[in-house]
Amino acid sequence: MKKYLIFLTFLFIQNVKSQNAEQSNPIHQKVYEYEDIQVKPKFPGGMEKFYKFIEANYKKPDEAKDVSGPVSVIFIVDINGFITYIELRKDIGYKTGKELIRTINNSPRWLPGEQDGYHVKTKIKFTFNVK
């Protein structure tokens, strides 16, 4: 029984060490520009589906009923396909940027980008025209 317990403890420690080693890999820490990576991150169904997702889920704020124009953000798709960071770059006001951030945060998981066979964090620039 004692040998069995020691063996399980060894396996557990080995598993924890291997997970930490992968996350500390420098390629996982760097944020790559969308244009610079070999395999681009992909929304399930492609960018056309992403635009449709945004259009279907974006709720124009009441304050912005007579306003239209572009709202731009930068977001990061992490190594697991989750959106981890969104920065508002251009806003037309009236809570339009805040609503775009909310909508993007609710998007499904993406397929992550890849560089040299590794999943990588990728920065994506996105503009949505509020109508």
Mean pLDDT in order along the chain per 10 residues (131 residues)? 56 53 69 95 96 96 93 97 96 95 97 95 96 91
Q: Which CATH class is domain 30-130?
A: alpha beta
d(CA 126, CA 80): 20
State the pLDDT at residue 28.
Answer: 78
Amino acid at 5: L
Cut 0.75: pTM above it: yes
Give the pLDDT confidence score for residue 26 in this predicted structure.
77
Tokens coding 109: 């998981």
Q: How far is CA 7 from the centre of its chain?
A: 38
Q: DSSP readout, 23-75? A: HT-HHHHSEEEGGGSSB--B-TT-HHHHHHHHHHH----GGGTT--EEEEEEE
* Backbone Cα Rg of the chain: 20
Contact in structure between 22 and 28 (CB atoms under 8 Å):
yes
State the helix-helix crossing angle for 47-57 and 96-105, rounded to 10 degrees. Answer: 120
Residue 66: CB partners within 8 Å, gap ≥ 6?
none
CA separation for the pair 8, 128 (Å, rounded): 52
Looking at residue 22, what is its pLDDT?
A: 47
